Amino acid sequence: MKEIILAKYGEIALKGDNRNSFEDMLVKNIKRRLKKIGRFEYSRRQSTIYIEPLEDVDIDTAVKCLKSVFGIGAIQRCAVFEKNFDTVAQNAGEYLRPALSSAKTFKVEAKRSDKSFPLKSPDIQQKLGDVVLDNFPHLGVDVHNPEVTVRLEIRDNGAYLSAERIIGAGGLPVGSSGKALLMLSGGIDSPVAGYMMAKRGLVVDCIHYVSPPYTSDRARMKVEALCEKMTEFCGNTIFYCVPFTEIQEAIRDNCPEEYFTVIMRRLMVKIANKICDRYGYGGIITGESLAQVASQTLQALKCTNAAAEYPVFRPVIGMDKIEITEIARKIDTYETSILPYEDCCTVFSPKHPKTRPSLEEILKAESSFDFDKMVDEAIEKTEVKRFRYGEKTVFID
């Protein structure tokens, strides 16, 4: 019995004339994911990508990999038969056993896109229901709330029988919306922000600022570990590590303490602007959540936003910590984020930061020192690292 995987489109199905480019991107992403698992043949028909193994492969692992590919609405593993109801009926018992032997209720859903098939959908449903009940007499039928839905689809290329449909990652294929730079701090919020924007089709690469000796190697490794974990959803990721000590010391020595954090955030954004210029990113992503801390009030955001030359995406802006944490747990970054190493945001944080700074005040405070040279220097000394999907190279947790 041959088993294949159907990856059904989510949002892509709603696209119009440009749908092809999304499909191409999705197939490319899926191919990349499954490359290490085995050889597959890919074809697409009727809003579905057919993923057919060409050798003996571990379908469970393949399905697990596909669950984190954005652009897939649902994943269905099926047995393929010739379009002949008797053949399906003969094999259904064996194929459905793992799913049905411990279930209590089921229903059958049939679809017939090949209208030349002699049975109509309601007939197929009824006949297949009888077959299932013959094989598993303990089952009850429940058409409203079944534990297991057995699906038989009569498509152009064959009859596809399945009992397992998994909700996919949703969203749009990574890369279909371009690429952006995520300001990754080591906290809980920024990886979640990156995940959410990758879901909208962005390639997400990360920028991180380090301040040795105020921050430790371990703090940096923690962020690298986060970046590596994000490859699960974002695919291969580039990590820019910007030396930030001298800039922080210069702010401390030249600017009023109460403005420290906002000026620091502005300089981080200015560095991100230049990295975007240089490497072709089209936006900046941050994990800011409105009013969570002093530098994320409306007024403070105005000040940091004014430094940006690219659109700034703040997908968690309207979420509270509990909602953000829930996603962080789902994408498995939470446990890494809460490792106790300090990042550069907290190093010189003022005792009483100004929660409602005005842009004029900030610009004035900032003008007391020429930061441009330091910004350029920091960019020159930025280290670039690459993290690949499915590889673990950072060992800290």
The window from 21-29, 188-196, 302-310, 342-350 that contacts other proteins (CB under 8 A) reads: 342-350
Instruction: Give the Å distances, CA to CA, from 58 to 36, 74, 105, 376.
Output: 11, 19, 28, 50
Is residue 137 within the footprint of other proteins (CB under 8 A)?
no
The window from 109-117, 140-148, 341-349, 372-380 that contacts other proteins (CB under 8 A) reads: 341-349
Of residues 42, 310, 341, 369, which one binds other proteins by CB under 8 A?
341
Of residues 72, 100, 347, 378, which one binds other proteins by CB under 8 A?
347
Q: Which of 276, 287, 273 is nearest to 343 (CA)?
A: 287
The DSSP secondary-structure symbol of 176 reads: T
Is residue 215 within the footprint of other proteins (CB under 8 A)?
yes
Task: Tell me how far, at minimum, the Cβ of 217 lies from other proteins, in Å.
Answer: 8
245-284 binders of other proteins (CB under 8 A): 249, 252
By beta-carbon proximity to other proteins, the closer residue of 351 and 373 is: 351
By beta-carbon proximity to other proteins, the closer residue of 221 and 359 is: 221
Q: How many CB atoms lie within 10 A of CB 194?
A: 32
260-279 and 298-306 are packed helices; what angle lies between their axes, rounded to 10 degrees? 40
By beta-carbon proximity to other proteins, the closer residue of 78 and 251 is: 251
Q: How many CB atoms lie within 10 A of CB 114?
A: 14
Q: Distance (Å, rounded) from C-alpha 229 to C-alpha 100?
A: 35
The window from 39-47, 97-105, 274-282, 340-348 that contacts other proteins (CB under 8 A) reads: 340-348
Q: Distance (Å, rounded) from C-alpha 207 to C-alpha 281?
A: 12
By beta-carbon proximity to other proteins, the closer residue of 105 and 216 is: 216
What are the contacts of 92-98 at 24+ separation with CB within 8 A? 92/128, 92/131, 92/132, 92/135, 92/150, 92/161, 93/131, 93/134, 93/135, 93/136, 94/1, 95/1, 95/161, 95/163, 96/132, 96/135, 96/136, 96/150, 96/161, 96/163, 97/135
175-214 binders of other proteins (CB under 8 A): 212-214
Total binding residues toward other proteins, as defined by CB under 8 A: 12
260-279 and 245-254 are packed helices; what angle lies between their axes, rounded to 10 degrees? 140
By beta-carbon proximity to other proteins, the closer residue of 12 and 210 is: 210
Task: Tell me how far, at minimum, the Cβ of 347 lies from other proteins, in Å.
Answer: 7
By beta-carbon proximity to other proteins, the closer residue of 133 and 339 is: 339
Q: Distance (Å, rounded) from C-alpha 166 to C-alpha 74?
A: 6
Task: Tell me how far, at minimum, the Cβ of 220 lies from other proteins, in Å.
Answer: 11
User: Are the C-beta atoms of 66 and 30 separated by less than 8 Å?
Assistant: yes
228-247 binders of other proteins (CB under 8 A): none
Is residue 348 within the footprint of other proteins (CB under 8 A)?
yes
Task: Tell me how far, at minimum, the Cβ of 345 lies from other proteins, in Å.
Answer: 14
Is residue 216 within the footprint of other proteins (CB under 8 A)?
yes
User: Are the C-beta atoms of 59 and 38 separated by less than 8 Å?
Assistant: no
Q: What would you measure as the largest C-alpha separation in the chain, in angstroms?
A: 84
By beta-carbon proximity to other proteins, the closer residue of 344 and 394 is: 344
By beta-carbon proximity to other proteins, the closer residue of 135 and 216 is: 216
Is residue 311 within the footprint of other proteins (CB under 8 A)?
no
Return residues touching other proteins (CB under 8 A): 212-216, 249, 252, 340-342, 347-348
